[in-house]
Amino acid sequence: MLKKFKLIALLSSALFLTNTAFAGETTADWLLSFERMKNFKSVTDKTYAKECGECHFAYPAGLLPSASWEKLLNATALKNHFGDNAEMDAATLERVLDYATNNAAEKSWYKRARKIANSGQAPLRITELRYIKRVHEEIPANMIKDNKDVKSLSMCNACHTQAAKGVFDSDTVNIPNFPDYN
Ligand code: HEC
Ligand code: HEC
């Protein structure tokens, strides 16, 4: 009974809030996907997916707050993006920045994005977020840095088999070369 009430309350608040505070997600998204109770919204913009999926997995925008995306996604910062040059033309950059900020952690209803928004942190790296650090702190270096099929904790999709769908649940993890982990 209580569960049912909660669901109705959540749905009606979603209907009110869409297209206002949470402009990045529509009511249809909400009704279609109860996944949001656990996960992140997967990347839905083709330009972002292409430009930001070249060197690594295209991170769902809800993994960082807009303050982080603004620090990362400007012409100066992209010239030296973690040691790489990730420059793009001004129109493309504007689109990518708009997508990232409109779908940033604080604009998303997905439960794990809320957690990140509520942390108040705005680092340059997802892997610097306390929440992300905590859930990975017990994984030894030989499974990450020294693992030729992972190399870095930044390569989310090396272990999270459904990362592209925005799903990071521990039961969907498979660490390459360590089939018995978990
Ligand atoms: C030319 C290659 C390249 C492109 C293009 C690129 N990146 Fe990166 N990105 C990197 C490298 C290299 C790192 C550091 C990875 C590591 O430390 O293992 C990185 C790291 C990141 C991180 C931090 C990940 C962490 O450790 O938490 C974010 C966030 C990020 N990139 C976002 C983007 C976005 C958004 C775009 C699209 C505008 C983009 N990147 C395009 C090369 C690139
Ligand atoms: C070396 C493999 C590996 C990489 C790379 C990795 N993860 Fe994980 N991640 C794990 C494992 C294993 C767990 C489960 C930890 C546990 O529950 O004991 C986990 C848990 C999580 C959780 C919590 C899931 C839950 O059910 O509570 C989130 C969120 C997450 N990872 C996000 C990310 C993101 C974002 C990245 C990339 C920036 C990333 N992970 C990179 C292995 C990895």
Task: Quote the pTM value.
Answer: 0.88
The reply to whether 146 falls in a domain is yes
Residue nearest atom 1 of ligand 2, based on CA coordinates:
144
CA-based torsion, 123, 126, 130, 131: positive or negative: positive
The reply to whether 41 falls in a domain is yes
Given ligand 1 and candidates 45, 46, 52, which is best to mutate, with the most ligand atoms within 8 Å of its CB?
52
Place of tokens 């930001």: 52
- Each residue's pLDDT tens digit, 111-130: 899 999 999 999 999 999 99
pLDDT mean over 46-51: 98
The reply to whether 166 falls in a domain is yes
Residue nearest atom 17 of ligand 1, based on CA coordinates:
154
CA 141 to chain CA centroid, nearest Å:
23
The reply to whether 168 falls in a domain is yes
Place of tokens 């807009």: 66
Residue 2 neighbours by CB distance under 10 Å: 6
Domain count, the chain: 1
The reply to whether 26 falls in a domain is no
Residue nearest atom 22 of ligand 1, based on CA coordinates:
125
pLDDT of residue 25: 72
**Ligand 2 and 113: CB distance under 6 A:** no
Which residues span the domain enclosing 126?
34-172
CA-based torsion, 92, 94, 95, 96: positive or negative: positive
- Does the pLDDT of residue 45 top 90, yes or no? yes
CA-CA distance, 123 to 131, in Å (whole number)? 12
The reply to whether 177 falls in a domain is no
pLDDT of residue 40: 93
The reply to whether 51 falls in a domain is yes
The reply to whether 180 falls in a domain is no
